[in-house]
Structure 1
Amino acid sequence: MQRKAFVPGTAALLAALLAGCTGGSGSGGSTDNSNPGDAGTATVAAQPGKYRTLPEPCGAVSHGTLASLLPGIAQLTDQTQRQKAYDGDATLTYDTDRKAGCRWKVESTAATDHLFVDFERVVSYDNSVSDDSQAEKIFAGKQTDAGLPAPSASGSPGANTTTGGTAGTGTEAMGKATSSAPTGSASPSATPSGSSSGSGSPSASPTATPSDLASRALTDLGDEAFLDDSLSSSGSTAKQRTVTVVFRTSNVIVTIEYAEQPTTVTAVPDSQEMQDRARKLAAQLAGSLGG
């Protein structure tokens, strides 16, 4: 039987077809066309926050401010004890560039005062979420936990915002919230003129806080801020007032907790005085943030 002749052109055609299936681009490099729609498309990472470091919290509050917030320091005659009171106690942290805090506690003849300052630098590990957006989300959760409405989508902190000015704060626009109380209503925890101990005088309604000093959003501090004022109802013991100020600047959230418990059961810490001191400190800390 006569065999069919082998045609060299057929072999060349098969080789060319195989090369087309496995070969590269015209430039000689191999390409992967499994996702041709992604060609030339790059994912843009969200912007990092403004702040890369945090202040040292125990050194962020000046001696003068501490003496104002903690009147008992001036009553310490022992120089070593006084310096220790100024130094405070740093909170335990494993990364001072991400989380850092400090606590102070000083007793006086009139009251025991506590101060806590906390810095938190927020970092987003999601490339599609910026550090600022992540910090904004965390701040909103803190504001909700405090019983206040979270900021609206437009950035407005709500109806109960600060207006006007408060004398003696030492900073601009440290106003009080718009009051819904009837005109002429008295402030039940007002401190008599000349009081400097930080604790108010006995009040006929010691558990009440004037409506214009109630917990509220603040508009004159950082990118967003709120203040929470609470008075404990601890029965037979002296009542403790705690004023908390939280504010966010870019990707850093600062928390200030200022508390006072008088030694006299009938005494009530003055709300306005404590709020003014806490807000003045907050303004100072906002200015101390580096970058």
Structure 2
Amino acid sequence: MQRKAYVSGVAALLVALLAGCTGGSSGGGGATDDVNPGDAGTASVVAQPGKYRTLPGPCSAVSHDTLDSLLPGIRQIADADQREKAYEGDATLAYDNDRKAGCRWKVDSTTATDRLLVDFERVVSYDNSVSDDTQAQELFAEKETAADLPEPTSSDSGSGATSSPSPSSSAGSSATGSADPSSSASASPSASVSPSGSGSSSPSSSATPANLQPRTLDDLGDEAFVDDALSGPGSTARQRTVTVVFRTSNVIVTIEYEEQSAVVGTVPDSKEMQDRALNLAAQLADTLGG
């Protein structure tokens, strides 16, 4: 009887030891599990996605009235079907219209050839630690750097300068201090049928007034800039290209507005073209809701 009691005691001791080992192992596993959730919690911190998940159709985003202003020759097209086709524009090639979409227009008039490009780009970050907005900011900064904008002067307001310039800014508009025919022509009501100012044929008109120089804008989207470039010597047909780029959250909008005069020596008017391009940019910003 005593032997049986001894065996039973040993068995009970072994059971206790085994239970203790099992409990210790479980405790170790619990400690490891406590670490893993912490690591997983850190890794699961994902940057916020951008505001926009889709893009509007660029060809339908520009109204007929706006196209009439930007492309005066469109109203000179006699054939109704051809005129409607001109309004529709041509979509640019894109593999994913929710990521990048664009539309082009080209219209000839009796005084000039006008071209317009509207491009939407929705920026998506593939780095979980970088938000779509941050990625879009970096891309916008690259575009602004590539534009090589001049350093702002004390007379630059940083705004779109879409309103008529003040007399003081017009008086000192050219680099030489002489009167700028393009600025004086632009003070008159905008001639929608003849985009090039009649007084802009003088070579001195190539000097862009200070308030129309390429610059950043503080009243369009989250950040924006406008560029203005004139190509070709005075002895040839001059072409001006006004580019407006702005960012709203994770969408970057680019507008390229070109006009090439049909008359040798005539310079497309800077103010008229900038006003029209900036007006379109404001409309597109409203379309995006930004």
Cα shift readout 1:96-149 (whole Å, capped 9, x = no counterpart): 111111000001111100000011111222222222111111111111110138
Where does residue 118 of structure 2 map in the other structure? 117
Structure 1 Cα separation of the partners of residues 103 and 227 of structure 2: 20
Alpha-carbon shift at residue 12 of structure 1 (Å): 3.4
1:159-195 deviation per Cα after TM superposition (whole angstroms, max 9, x unaligned): 7612766149xxxxxxx99x88689652253363464
Indicate whether 1:199 and 2:196 are aligned: yes
In the TM superposition, what is the alpha-carbon distance from 1:209 to its structure 2 partner?
A: 1.6
Mean Cα deviation higher: 139-148 or 191-200: 191-200
Deviation track 1:194-221 (CA, whole Å, cap 9, x = no partner) reads: 6441123212325422222110001111
What residue number does 1:224 align with?
A: 223
> What is the CA distance between 1:31 and its match in structure 2?
6.5
Using structure 1 for the length normalisation, give the TM-score: 0.80
Q: Is 1:23–2:44 an aligned residue pair?
A: no
Partner in structure 2 of residue 154 of structure 1: none
1:191·1:270 contact (CA, 8 Å) conserved in 2? no
The aligned counterpart of 1:253 is 252
Instruction: Provide the C-alpha distance between the structure 1 equivalents of 2:218 and 2:289, rounded to a whole number of angstroms.
Output: 22
Partners of 1:97 and 1:37 lie apart in 2 by 36
What SS class does the counterpart of residue 182 from structure 2 fall into?
coil
Q: Tell me the distance in 2 between the aligned counterparts of 1:263 and 1:205.
A: 19
- Cα distance in structure 2, aligned partners of 1:236 and 1:213: 24
Partners of 2:243 and 2:55 in 1: CA distance: 20
Gaps of 5+ in 2: 1-5
Would the aligned equivalents of 1:207 and 1:233 in 2 still touch at CA under 8 Å?
no
Identity, % of aligned positions? 61
203-212 or 249-258: bigger deviation: 203-212
RMSD of aligned alpha carbons: 3.3
1:5-24 paired onto structure 2 within 5 Å? 7-8=10-11, 11-12=14-15, 14-23=17-26
Are 1:188 and 1:210, in contact at CA under 8 Å, matched by a contact in 2? no
CA contact (8 A) 2:203 2:265 kept: no
Q: Is the 8 A contact 1:51 1:290 kept in 2?
A: no
Distance 1:128 1:109, change over 3 A: same
1:189 aligns with 182
Q: C-alpha separation between the residues in 2 aligned to 1:149 and 1:272?
A: 18
Give the deviation of 1:56 after TM superposition.
Answer: 0.8
The Cα offsets for residues 9-37 of structure 1, whole Å up to 9 and x where unpaired, read as 66335523541454368xxx967348369
After superposition, residues 82-161 of structure 1 pair within 5 angstroms as 82-148=83-149, 161=158
Paired with 2:51 and 2:149, the residues of 1 have a C-alpha distance of 27
Q: Which structure features the higher share of helix residues?
A: 2
Q: Structure 1 residues 254, 39: CA separation in 2 closer, same or farther (over 3 Å shift)? A: closer
Which structure 2 residues correspond to residues 57-72 of structure 1 after superposition, within 5 A? 57-72=58-73
2:239–2:259: 8 Å Cα contact kept in structure 1?
yes
Distance 1:267 1:115 in 2: 20
The whole-number CA distance in structure 1 between the counterparts of 2:47 and 2:268 is 46
